[in-house]
Chain A
Amino acid sequence: GENVEQHPSTLSVQEGDSAVIKCTYSDSASNYFPWYKQELGKGPQLIIDIRSNVGEKKDQRIAVTLNKTAKHFSLHITETQPEDSAVYFCAASSPDSSYKLIFGSGTRLLVRP
């Protein structure tokens, strides 16, 4: 079945540095790739998403890139701030439905002040 691998599992950066989280999906039919941020005690918050017909999308300090050939997509956070500390999840839509998301295992990001 569809599988999404996410790396690294933990990431520690200095405030102001950039952070990059990478995901790989297994089925080339996936067409939608959202990223979520989850803080302790809260539900996942959608921070950015990209569709398969787009290679890159940016929203202020956050950007996502998609390489369909390699079945690989990445989250880039620039000028990190302590409030960026959280667990980040990537997801890919299932080949049989865009509304069925397959999630990566998560990356715990720590931004050191």
Chain B
Amino acid sequence: KAGVTQTPRYLIKTRGQQVTLSCSPISGHRSVSWYQQTPGQGLQFLFEYFSETQRNKGNFPGRFSGRQFSNSRSEMNVSTLELGDSALYLCASSQAGTGGLAQYFGPGTRLLVL
């Protein structure tokens, strides 16, 4: 089975712009979660989607949003980018339900905001 894929892998944006990141989960996985990884704050939970619905949300401002499509693929969007948004954005997928809790991460999208 193919793993979690994320596109693009690298991105450079300037302050004030917006960005959309994409995640394709492992085939058959219905839950997709997003995390932000920075040297200072570590790995922080952004949100989780299941069956196109946001089930959980972390403590991030409303500039961070996401969605999930009927094929379980997910996108996250960051509007009005700030320098502090520079980070590795990781997507993880899980079978969910009786399939288990294990989350499998993709390689991440590295975002640099100038």
Contact = CB atoms under 8 A, between A and B. Distances in A.
Interface residues of A, number: 26
Interface string B78-114: 0000000000001000101000011111111000000
Contacts of B42: 103-106
A54 B55 CA distance: 27
13 contacts: A43-B105, A49-B101, A89-B43, A93-B101, A98-B101, A99-B31, A99-B56, A100-B33, A101-B33, A101-B45, A101-B103, A103-B43, A104-B42
Interface of B: 4, 31, 33, 35, 42-45, 48, 50, 55-56, 58, 90, 94, 96, 101-108
Interface of A: 32, 34, 36, 41-46, 49, 51, 89, 91, 93-94, 96-106
